[in-house]
Amino acid sequence: MKTYLRILNFVKPYWKHLSISIVCTIMFAVFNGLSIYLTIPLLETLFQEGQTQSVQTKVQITQSPVANTTSVLPDWITKFGQNLSNSFNNFVLQGDKLDSLLRVCFLVVAAFLLKNIFGYLQAYFLSYVEEGSMKDLRNAAYKHLHQLPMSYFKQERVGNLISRITNDVNVVQSSISAGFLNLIREPLTIIVFIGIAVSISWKLTLLAFIVLPFSMLIIAGIGLKLRKHSTAIQAKMADITSILQETISGVKIVKAFGMEGYENNKFKRETYSYFRMMLRIVRIRNSSSPITEFLSVIVGAVIIYYGGVLVLQSHTLKAAEFMGFLLAIFQTMPPIKELSTVNNRIQESSAAGDRIFEILDTEPAIKDIDNAGELKTFTNALAFKHLSFHYDDSDDLILDDINFEVRKGEIVALVGPSGGGKSTLVDLIPRFYDPTGGQILVDGIDTKKVKVQDLRALMGIVTQETILFNESIKNNIAYGLDNYPVDKIIEAAKTANAHNFIMELPDGYETVIGERGLKISGGQRQRISIARAILKNPQLMIFDEATSALDNESELLVQEAIERMMINRTSIVIAHRLSTIRNATRIIVLDKGKIIQTGTHEELIRDENGLYNKFYEMQFRD
Ligand code: ADP
């Protein structure tokens, strides 16, 4: 229930639409009741034999349906009901039979028309609330995702997260309509019809509702079971989405290793297990309405028999009233049946809601401290002091007592064997992770004490994977910079050696990256992302050189672009290119989380037994 209330919190901003919907619901229930209530005079008009034409007598004959409610309702209500019913009958039953019939028909049509208009409006406004609040829930979850640390995305499978924001939100959505449609409209309908039924015969009504507690118990039990299965089924859907996401993005590897059959089988296993789970849940979910319906039918039979006795034997009930009563009682059946599924749906959606709130409840590990300072410029040096780090999942130090400084204007190259900790080290600078020991200082200020946004604004980051978005080249280069002047974008592209090939594309800078058939090579992608970094014009450049081999011409163009990017900047580069290490002010050799050598290329190469020398021979020398 707590989860459900939390879901309802997202409905709050839509209280106006919700109120309109509720008003329409009330009107719907009233006209729905009226349309049934009208059948009593209709039946009387049609079937009453030997009726005189005088209104006066007719009113007496057409004994008001509320007349025998005195035993359960307060006096004033009874009187009010009687008056209402008398004037209603006066109006309907005056004149001759055909006249009354026409009037009743007209009223029936009007009542049905109004009922349906209000039903339509109610559904529309409710959908507005439902869709609107789910949009907000999705947005909130998405926004929160962006605040979560990198480590979160390493732990969670991407498909799982996608599934929560898509599939689980859909499941939650169904509970909102379940909540409002069923918790407001159905009870109202039930109240109206029970009101009518009671006004005709309270004894018969009481009899009809004796069975209710039994069905309620059964329903509650089913709801609990459903919640358990529902959690499992949503998790299964997340698994399926994960497999999809992983194999689609890794389609090249799947093909290269001929793993289509294997992946197909894996996928089939998951969908089959989803299918089984779904069937189980359908069995449970659908068992509640047949059970309640069967119970209702038993009651129905008893009522018909008892009511028949009242009509035929004791003559305390009129045939037309009994028909009206039966109609009213049968009208309460669908809403009761519907209500019996509300609990189920709320349980299912609470399970899905829990999975979404799990995202929302994950604390952003990296956030501004209170009174975080501003940091607008980088003037002096970036310093690493006794820095150590390990990932959450293990205590092994990935970085161990790292000490070095990068002064403004320097190019510092990180080299060393794979797994040495280079990427981890550069990830700590923009606070993708926080150090577990020691400090990183910008101009002497601990990076933990400044605004994360300010810190990141100082730096440009080019990663190995060149991430381009499904947008125009122009917008890809100006990512994060709205309405940037085109000439500046072109200038950046020229510096990055990207201008020429962009101009050869079908729409130049307006060419959309994700479009089918658009061929952009690895080297071209790299140059676009370099142009992106150049345009941001950061004071501090963090660069993870791509290891992928490029053809000679592309290599040359990329190299030139990198060199231009580093001019007049401070750079930290995970170096894979010979030219980069030759240009570096200082090279830091990192192995197993420790700095084992520092110096310029010339200095380091002289130490013949040093790791750098071996490494250089292996990696960089042709
Ligand atoms: P390099 O960039 O020098 O190749 P990395 O910084 O990528 O080295 O990796 C250093 C070590 O940290 C490796 O042993 C790697 O397995 C481990 N590592 C990297 N990322 C994570 C992570 N998200 N969780 C746990 N361990 C990690």
- What tens digit of pLDDT does each residue of 143-197 get? 999 888 888 888 888 888 888 888 888 888 877 777 766 777 788 888 888 888 8
> How many Cα atoms are found within 13 Å in the side-chain-facing hemisphere of 84?
11
Q: What tokens were used for 162?
A: 């996608």
Q: Which two tokens stand for residue 432?
A: 């993708």
Phi/psi for 453 (5° steps) reads -65, -40
Per-residue model confidence (pLDDT) at position 48? 63
Task: Compute the distance between CA of residue 273 and CA of residue 339 in angstroms, rounded to an integer.
Answer: 30
Any idea what the CATH number is for the domain that residue 171 is in? Answer: 1.20.1560.10
Record the tokens describing residue 369, joined without a space: 């401290």
**Ligand 1 pocket: which of 391, 392, 542, 573 to mutate (most atoms <8 Å of CB)?**
391
Would you say residue 90 lies in a domain? yes
Ligand 1 centroid, distance to 424 Cα (angstroms): 6
The residue whose C-alpha atom lies closest to atom 21 belonging to ligand 1 is: 391
C-alpha of residue 392 to centroid of ligand 1, in Å? 12
- The reply to whether ligand 1 has any atom less than 6 angstroms from the CB of 395 is no
Ligand 1 nearest atom to the CA of residue 590, by list position? 3
CA distance 374 to 372: 7
Residue 140 domain boundaries:
2-237+284-360
Residue 157 counted as domain residue:
yes
* Tokens 């499992």, residue located: 232
Q: Which atom of ligand 1 is nearest to the CA of 150?
A: 23
Inside any domain, residue 490: no
Tokens of 406: 């990068």
Atom of ligand 1 nearest to the CA of 414: 3
Please identify every stretch of the chain with a pLDDT value under 50, giving residue numbers as ranges: 49-71
Quick check: CB of 35 below 6 Å from ligand 1? no
Torsion of CA 582, 584, 588, 589, to 10 degrees: -20
- Count of other CB atoms within 10 angstroms of residue 355: 23
514, 515, 516, 521 alpha-carbon torsion, rounded to 10°: -60
Cβ contacts of 245-252, under 8 Å, gap ≥ 24 = 245/157, 245/158, 245/159, 245/162, 246/157, 246/158, 246/159
Amino acid present at 359:
I
**What is the 3-state composition of the chain as percent helix, strand, coil, each rounded to the nearest 5?**
65, 10, 25
Give the strand order in the sheet containing 586-591: 459-462, 540-544, 570-574, 411-415, 586-591, 594-599
| Ligand 1 and 391: CB distance under 6 A | yes
The amino acid sitting at 276 is R
Residue nearest to atom 22 of ligand 1 (CA): 391
- The DSSP annotation for 255-284 comes to HHTT-HHHHHHHHHHHHHHHHHHHHHHHHH
432 in contact with ligand 1, CB cutoff 6 A: no
Which pLDDT does position 52 carry in this prediction?
A: 42
390 lines ligand 1 (CB under 6 A): no
Distance CA 127, CA 124 (A): 5
* CA Rg value for the chain: 37
Quick check: CB of 155 below 6 Å from ligand 1? no
pLDDT of residue 16: 94
Instruction: Tell whether 148 is covered by a domain.
Output: yes
Residue with the nearest Cα to atom 13 of ligand 1?
419
φ and ψ of 546, to 5 deg: -70, 140
149 CA → ligand 1 middle, Å: 16
Angstrom distance (rounded) from CA 382 to CA 363: 29
Distance of CA 426 from the midpoint of ligand 1 (Å): 11
User: Which helix (H) or strand (E) segment is 595 a member of?
Assistant: strand 594-599
Position 39 scores a pLDDT of: 76
- For residue 514, being part of any structural domain is answered with no
User: Does residue 233 lie in a domain region?
Assistant: yes
CA distances 442 to 369, 371, 540, Å, are: 16, 17, 11
Per-residue pLDDT, 72? 52
SS3 383: strand
In this structure, the residue with its CA closest to atom 14 of ligand 1 is 419
Residue 412 Cα to ligand 1 midpoint, Å, equals 20
422 lines ligand 1 (CB under 6 A): yes
Ligand 1 lined by 424 (C-beta under 6 Å): yes
Q: Give domain status of residue 412, yes or no.
A: no
Count CA atoms closer than 13 A to 267's CA, side-chain side. Answer: 14
Q: Is residue 608 part of a domain?
A: no
- What's the pLDDT score for residue 81? 66
What is the tally of structural domains in the chain? 1
> Which DSSP helix (H) or strand (E) runs through 75?
helix 75-93
